[in-house]
Amino acid sequence: MQTGGYTSTNCTDNEVPLATSAECVDTINYDALNARVLQAIDNEKERVALAELFKTSKYDKSGWKVISFSSQETSGEGSNGLASQIIDGDANTYWHSQWQGTQAKYPHYFVIDMQKIQSIGGFEFTMSGGANRYIKAYDIYVSDDNTTWQKVISDNGAPNQQTFQVRLDSVVNARYIKLVIRDGRATDGCFVRLNELDVVSGNVAVPVQQPSANNVANAQLSAILNNQNLDLILPFEGEKQVAVRLYSTNGICIFNGNFLASKYISIPMPQLVAGTYIVEAVCNEGSSSAMIIKK
């Protein structure tokens, strides 16, 4: 691609002229392209960071029970097909909707008892059998008592892929989870195959951004690990005091400090081990969060 200068008018047996006259070519402005490339890089960084956060935030499902379900295939899938296999922690086993004898119709559903109230920030689905057995439309409900239910997710177009993740808009606390599969991608019947439903802790939920009245809308906390320091750029201005908290992926607060208002804060973190963390800055009129990864 020519950037400035003149185009070639040379014509030989092996060359075709780019122009019939030696006219000056204007320099091409790459700003828009560069912006798109940088945005793509940022999007990929965010995707990788979120995938790591999901990976380290999954709850151990030992002791969990599927206490109710619509159907399961007990004979046609060999050692697979059972509802309990969506929480057995083995991505190689799977539940399949019933097809032997009677073909189960939509909706398919499961009720899972986590045995205690947990902080929930999202879910991860793992499927198999190809797109013809994937989930397409589903709802997720949560409950404290298996009686009163709150819908937290409703999706009519789940990603057409083997594994996908979904984050909640805010953290919910619940003991019971109900997954309702309203539709699938199968073209030969109401068939769905689900290997695992994983639940991740509340720190995965989309951080609630509540900037102070003195700040512009949608401002965010910027957090960077610089050697052994945690450097913050705060979105708050004009506040007397700001509380900074650092949480591990299992929700444990490992740092809690108060600082006089300043646009920039640098906090020594010499003992911080490798992992994913959530930084939260809180003032009188709002809060903001950011995710960091220590390598």
Instruction: State the pLDDT at residue 220.
Output: 72
Instruction: State the pLDDT at residue 80.
Output: 98
- pLDDT tens digits, residue range 84-112? 999 999 999 999 999 999 999 999 999 99
41/157 Cα distance (integer angstroms): 26
Given a contact cutoff of 8 angstroms between Cβ atoms, the answer to whether 235 and 215 are in contact is yes
Given a contact cutoff of 8 angstroms between Cβ atoms, the answer to whether 58 and 122 are in contact is no
Instruction: State the pLDDT at residue 285.
Output: 65
Name the pTM for this structure: 0.61
Name residues whose C-beta falls within 8 Å of residue 226's C-beta, 6 or more positions apart in sequence.
266
Tokens for 10, please give them: 């040379």
In one-letter notation, the amino acid at residue 145 is: D
Instruction: State the pLDDT at residue 62.
Output: 96
Instruction: State the pLDDT at residue 156.
Output: 95
3-state secondary structure the chain: CCCCCECCCCCCCCCCCCCCCCCECCCCCCHHHHHHHHHHHHHHHHHHHHHHHHHHHECCCCCCEEEEECCCCCCCCCCCECHHHHHCCCCCCCEECCCCCCCCCCCEEEEEEEEEEEEEEEEEEEECCCHHHCEEEEEEEEECCCCCCEEEEEECCCCCCCEEEEEEEEEEEEEEEEEEEEEECCCCCCCCEEEEEEEEEHHHCCCCCECCCCCCCCCCCEEEEECCEEEEECCCCCCCEEEEEEEECCCCEEEEEEEECCCEEEEECCCCCCEEEEEEEEECCEEEEEEEEEC
- pLDDT tens digits, residue range 42-89? 677 777 777 788 888 899 999 999 999 999 999 999 999 999 999 999
Residues in the chain predicted with pLDDT less than 50, given as ranges, are 1-4, 6, 208-218
Name residues whose C-beta falls within 8 Å of residue 229's C-beta, 6 or more positions apart in sequence.
266, 267, 268, 269
59/74 Cα distance (integer angstroms): 27
Given a contact cutoff of 8 angstroms between Cβ atoms, the answer to whether 137 and 182 are in contact is yes
The structural domains of the chain, ordered by start, are 65-204 (2.60.120.260), 222-294 (2.60.40.3080)
